[in-house]
Every structure is written in C-alpha cells, then in structure tokens.
Amino acid sequence: MLIVEDVSVALGRRPVLRDVSLTARPGTLTAIVGPNGSGKTTLMRAMTGEVACQGKISLNGLDVARAKAWQLAGIRAVMAQETQLAFPFTVLEVIQLGLSMGQHAENRDLPQRALAEVDLLQYASRNYQDLSGGERQRVQLARALVQVWNPVADGAARWLFLDEPVASLDLGHQLQVMRLARRFADAGGGVIAVMHDLNLSAMFADRLALLSKGSLVAAGTPEAVLTDAQLSSAYGCPIRTNALPASGTWLLPQAVAG
C-alpha cells in the first residue's frame, strides 16, 4: 500500500503542498488531478522520494524518505513529465536502462516486448533524440514497464508512477497508454498517475485525488470527486459535469460560459 500522511513540501521558501494525506491500494489506479500549479507533480515526486517532505510516505511498508535507491527501484518505476538525455542513446538502449534498474536483468527480450506494448517496436534502433515528444513519452513508459514488468512479485505489488503520461499523445495513443496502466493495476500492481484530462481519469481510474493550491480538496471514487461544486472550486471557474445515463460513466466536465 502507498500511505501519505500529513505531507507538506516547500521549494525554497515557497510552500507547495500543505498537509496532504491519502492512501492507494495495490490493484487500483489512482489519478491525481487539479489545475496547473496545484502541486500534483510535487506530490508525485515526494511519493517517489525525489523531493524531501515533512510528514511520512510509505510504500509497501518501506519509509520512502529512508529507503535506499536500489530498494525503491525494485518496487516502483517512475515516468516523469519530460526526460532529457545528454547522450545519443537509441530507443532500445533507453529501455534497457529500466532493465538494469529492475529485477529482470536476465530477461533480455523484455525491452522488445515493452516496445511492442507501446507500438514502437520498429523504432528500436532509432536515436531517441530524433523522436517526437509523444514518441519519447511512449519510450519512457516502456522503460518504466520493463523495470516493474511483473505487477506482483514475491507476493508484493509493484508500482507505476506516471506524471502526465498522455500529455503529448493523440487520442488513440492516449487510450493505449491508459489501457496499459489499467491492465497493470488489474493484474495486482499499483498505478499513480498525474492527469489533466478529467474524462480519461473518470474512465480509467478507481480513485481520484483532487488538489488545489497545494491542498487536497477531495479524494475518492470519480463519482464522489467529480462534482460540480468541487471542480468549480478547485479550478476557479463554473464547471458542470455530464454523465451518460445508460452506463453512468462520467464524461465531459465542461466549463460553463458566462
């Protein structure tokens, strides 16, 4: 389980997160949503041990602040918003970085399998820096998948932390990426995804955490979080949510003109 207890983060003298508490269970996909500057990425970086915080964060019972890098690398993989590489790696070499950090170094076929999952198998020998933004994003997802290929190992869940995984993708590839994340969770792993698209979040996530101005506004099922009042307050504009009557699927949170 991922447990976040009373977490606050300041970058320099600027408070970014204030007393955020939430939990996420294996077998679920949790989407962190909210307006720009609400602290979504900072919260994820605290969860993965990349930024120091007040409070406590534990992952599978491991204190993230005290854990060694190799311990965290064995149970979670991180896909950042953007990854800059200083060297001319090929796509295959980038994905093999995930193989070296995870526990599957002997499975040399995993990079190709991961590339096939993100529809980039034919790009294996391409220079990573020659790819489009969306293609790079899918390569980074494949690298993360290789690192935690088995969603459950030795009875413990592995975790995917995805920061805006669909931001640069067309609609088809957005759905592909979210289905991959959903499949990982359904197989027993845990997925935490920072999302801007409320529609995709409602479609694929089990739970949402809505942030605004560094504070947690609401956490729960999409139905409980995506209310007109809570979204309007968080985003600072009138918002009305629509639902499809037949399925009850939440769809199209829309700003209200005027």
Judge whether 18 lies within some domain: yes
Judge whether 235 lies within some domain: no
What averages of pLDDT result for each successive group of 10 residues across the chain (258 residues)?
97 93 98 96 96 96 94 93 80 86 68 93 93 92 94 94 93 94 98 95 96 97 94 92 60 51
Q: What is the largest CA-CA distance in the chain?
A: 60
Domain count, the chain: 1
Domain that holds residue 158: 2-75+148-221
pLDDT of 257: 46
pLDDT of 107: 72
pLDDT of 132: 92
Neighbours of 54 (CB within 10 A): 13
Judge whether 81 lies within some domain: no
Do residues 77 and 160 touch, judged by C-beta distance below 8 A?
yes
Calpha distance 131→149 (Å, rounded): 24
Please state the pTM of the whole predicted model: 0.90
pLDDT of 41: 96
CATH code (residue 197): 3.40.50.300
pLDDT of 99: 78
Where are the alpha helices (H) located in 118-157, listed in sequence order? Answer: 133-147
pLDDT of 258: 43
Judge whether 239 lies within some domain: no
pLDDT of 97: 86
- H/E segment holding residue 10: strand 2-11
Judge whether 32 lies within some domain: yes
Calpha distance 120→139 (Å, rounded): 8
Strand partners, 90: 127
Judge whether 226 lies within some domain: no
